[in-house]
Amino acid sequence: MLRPSKKMLFAIEAVLDIAYHAGGEPVQSREITRRQAIPRRYLEQTLQQLVRSGLLVGVRGPKGGYRLARERRRISVGEVVRVVRAMETAEDPFQDVPASDLGAKVIRPMWGDLTEEIMNRLDAITFDDLCMRSYKTGIPSEAHSKLDFII
């Protein structure tokens, strides 16, 4: 069942933060925590899972952090949601709850259809789309201060 958990919303915010504020350099988790007020315990675990799934790349070193594994126009919100859902599946008590015939044959399939529709919509939204929305709402990006055109 799809429901926006804290971990899911934090993961989407963290990936958007990286996409919006990177400016070509890795984004450190403490910067994400500072800007988004995401608890560090949620953030580190989630970022590592996003690295393992191939959506982010972890960069080691003093100026290390995280960056997108692909262009932001090639990463969808649906991909991030799937990673977090896989993390949370073991914690979901709904999976093991017995159901009546109406629940098992009517309600749960209906809910599955709705979840599929939502996932299709989330797959159509890229992080580039969210970055453009962020820009249009006037949210300042720290990426501009990181750009250096000196040759």
Q: What tens digit of pLDDT does each residue of 32-50 get?
A: 999 999 988 889 999 999 9
Mean pLDDT of 121-126: 98
- Residue spans of the domains in the chain: they are 6-145
- Taking the alpha carbons at both ends of the chain, their separation in whole angstroms is 52
Q: Inform me whether the pLDDT recorded for 149 exceeds 80.
A: no
Assign 66 a pLDDT band (cuts: 50, 70, 90).
very high
- Residue 145 in tokens: 């201060």
Query: Within 10 A of 87 (CB to CB), how many other CB atoms are there?
Result: 18
What residues contact 95, with CB distance under 8 A and at least 6 apart?
Answer: 89
Query: Within 10 A of 109 (CB to CB), how many other CB atoms are there?
Result: 11
The pLDDT > 90 percentage for the chain reads 71
What is the spatial distance between Cα 88 and Cα 73, in angstroms, rounded to a whole number? 26
Least confident of 9-18, 81-90, 100-109, 125-134: 81-90
- Which residue type sits at 89? T
Assign 3 a pLDDT band (cuts: 50, 70, 90).
confident
State residue 92's pLDDT score.
54
Q: Rg of the Cα trace of the chain?
A: 18
**Mean pLDDT estimate for the chain:** 89
Architecture field, domain 6-145 = Orthogonal Bundle (1.10)
Q: Can you give the pTM of this predicted structure?
A: 0.86
SS3 92: coil
Which H helix or E strand runs over 57? strand 56-59
Mean pLDDT of 108-120: 93
